[in-house]
Amino acid sequence: MSEFVIRKMTAADIRQVAAIEKELFTQPWSEQAFADELNNSTASIVVAQAGEEVVGFADMREIAGECYINNVGVRATQRRKGIGRALMQALENSATDKAEFITLEVRQSNEAAIRLYKSMGYIKVGTRKGFYEQPKEDADLMTKILKNEQ
């Protein structure tokens, strides 16, 4: 199952997205948190669908020209198929003309994600000490400039 489509998340996707979140993260968002995010006018949430199954998702908020990626997740069985890159690209494409940059945090041990982000033009701009729990770990703060100020 290597073919997938990227589309906006709907309420019908919440259960599958929350299951992916629970599979991947030690402090996962609840189904209610995803429902709330769907109703957040600053949020863009996309999913990757392969057949009838949601196999990945990504969530970003844009406020005052700044975009912040909350989460990117791809089922372990579906990795290395370009899904993460496609989700990230969809978020970038959803940014408005007012957006100046996109930023995110990533566990310092998540080498695959860091490689992906670097390949897409994100650079490390800082460290958030002790950002993650279970296990405790620092985060790299990475940013991609979308447009230069004139």
pLDDT of residue 1: 42
For the cut 70, the answer to whether the pLDDT of residue 150 exceeds it is no
Least confident interval from 37-46, 122-131, 140-149: 140-149
Burial label, 11 (beta-carbon count in 10 A; 0-12, 13-18, 19+): exposed
pLDDT tens-digit series, residues 7-21? 999 999 999 999 999
Arch. (CATH architecture) of 5-145:
3-Layer(aba) Sandwich (3.40)
